[in-house]
Amino acid sequence: MTTLPLFLGALTAGIVSLFIAALVQRLFHLPPRTAGLGWLFFSVFVRAALVEETSRLITMFPLLKAGRIRRGRDLNIAAALGLAAGFGFAAAESALYGGMTDLTIILLRNLTSLPLHGACGIRIGAAAFLFNRQRGRAIFLYITAIIIHGAYNLIILSPATHTLMAVPVALIALVISLPLLKGSEEEQEN
C-alpha cells in the first residue's frame, strides 16, 4: 500500500525527471526542419523517448529506496509509483506546451499524454524495482517503454501518419502495461 507522501513524491519525481530530460535534450543541436527522416527517428527515439524514460528511471531509484519498496510483493507498488511519476511528467510537460498555438496538438496531447506517460511510467517503475532482481526483465521493460514512447512521438510528428493514430497507441500502451499493477513479482512470474 502506498502513502500520500509517497504518491506525492512520485508525482514530484515525474516533474523532476522532466527537467532533467529538458537539460539533457538541450545538448542535442536541432538542425533545420529539412533535416530528413534520419533526424526524425533520432529525435523521437533518442532525443525524446530515450532521454525522457532514462530520466524517469533515474528518479525512480531514490523514490523506491525512500519508500522502502524492495520486497517481492512490492512490484505492483513500484509500478503504481511509476504511473504517478508518468502522470507528473505528463502534467508538467502539457503545462509547458500550453503556450503552443496549435489547438489540435494541444487537445491531442491532453487526450494522449497521460495514458502514454502513465503506461511508460508503469514500465519504468517496474524496471527500477526489478533492476537488481531480474535485470533482463528490467531491461526489457525499459526498452519497451522507449519503443512505445518513440512510436507515439513518431506518429505525432511524422507527416506520413494521421495524428489521431496516437490515441489508440497511447490507450493500448496503457492497457498492456496495467497488468504490472496487479499481483506480486512471484505471481507475475507464474
Query: Which residue in this structure is represented by grid cell 515525474?
Result: 14
Whether this prediction's pTM lies above 0.85 is answered by yes
> Quick one: pLDDT at residue 188?
56
The residue type found at 18 is L
Task: Examine the pLDDT at 190 and tell me if it is beyond 50.
Answer: no
> Quick one: pLDDT at residue 189?
55
Sign of CA dihedral 65, 66, 71, 77: negative
Q: How many CB atoms lie within 10 A of CB 97?
A: 14
183 pLDDT tier (thresholds 50, 70, 90): low
Q: Where are the domains of the chain?
A: 4-189
Residues in the chain: 190
Task: Examine the pLDDT at 168 and tell me if it is beyond 60.
Answer: yes
Containing H/E element for 173?
Answer: helix 166-177
